[in-house]
Amino acid sequence: MASQFGTLFRIATFGESHGGAVGVVVDGCPPRLPLHRDEIQFDLDRRRPGQSRLTTPRQEADQVEILSGLFEGRTLGSSIALLVRNKDARPSSYEDMKDVFRPSHADFTTEAKYGIRNWQGGGRASARETIGRVAAGAIARKILKQAAGVEVLGWVASVHEIDAEVDRDAVTLEQVEGQPTRCSDARAARRMEDAIEAARERGDSLGGTVECVARGVPAGLGEPVFDKLEADLARALMSLPAAKGIEVGSGFAGTRMTGLTHNDPFVPGDDGRPHTATNHSGGIQGGISNGERIDLRVAFKPTATIRSAQDTVNRAGEAVVLEARGRHDPCVLPRAVPMVEAMVCLTLCDHWLRQRAVDVLPR
């Protein structure tokens, strides 16, 4: 079972949803990077359960422990091990469902592949695995910001049929975090809250999209064939639980345009390098970043665990009716924002280090 990601900036996550702990080992972090536990904890607090009435009531503080890789507030260049202990695990809540395949979960497929599965809350397929990703992403974010001036920011762009209007250039972290939905459009955010609450009350769930931008990305990240930057971003983001689609730049809307209207004309920039007058490419052309803002959107399906009764089968192949228990989000979108940011940071950091390794001779 593969749990690794990255080429030069590499992570390996570990742990199960209702086991003793979850965490990550980070390899390839440059030495001498100033890093404080609070910088990692900030993003974990944005991901943790129980942070608002719109999320699962599971009470986990998700306090991170740094076990290795730091000395006197700076990275050593060695492996960084980060651990978060599970404090509010309730594996007994899943006892009645251990022989039942929950609709649209990984229960059946995991058992079909491995012949064994941890039925306590989904095991490795649980979104609790993303704690390691978000913790490692916080380190990648610090590298990108300090070394290249890159800023990565995500927000909830839609829930069900409610769309937000957000200025990608002007939106701030404070605006996003100012709403429990993590939608910076206050009017749309209120409608999203009502819709999520209504879905919870009727035993249902909702999906939607997270939009993310990366500002200040230098030109030259990515490769022109198999390791295209958008291909690696797609692989990273589609590995998130409940992710079902990704768009970069104009995405599918670009299919309704013509080449003349979709092409991004180059214009002289005040900084002496070419810029584009438009950004339908989403900051990536030919698989390589062009120095413009990277724009992407990720689609998340409705939460699979719902309170309403559903038809399914058990291990014996018998038809049964499932009435799910447990503590689950009626909409994954608010907590998915830091997960999306983390995977974007991890991908960009890895490609930034790879470009540094390639671009060593004078031009």
Q: Can you list the domains of the chain with their CATH numbers?
A: 4-358 (3.60.150.10)
Per-residue pLDDT of the chain (363 residues; tens, 9 = 90+): 889 999 999 999 999 888 889 999 999 999 999 999 999 999 999 998 766 667 666 667 899 999 999 999 999 999 999 999 998 766 666 777 788 898 898 999 999 999 998 887 777 888 999 999 999 999 999 999 999 999 999 999 999 999 999 999 999 999 999 999 999 999 999 999 999 999 999 999 999 999 999 999 999 999 999 999 999 999 999 999 999 999 999 999 999 999 999 999 999 988 889 999 999 999 999 999 999 999 999 999 999 888 888 899 998 888 999 877 656 789 999 999 999 999 999 999 999 999 999 887 888
Phi first, then psi, for residue 340 (nearest 5°) are: -60, -45
pTM of the model: 0.94
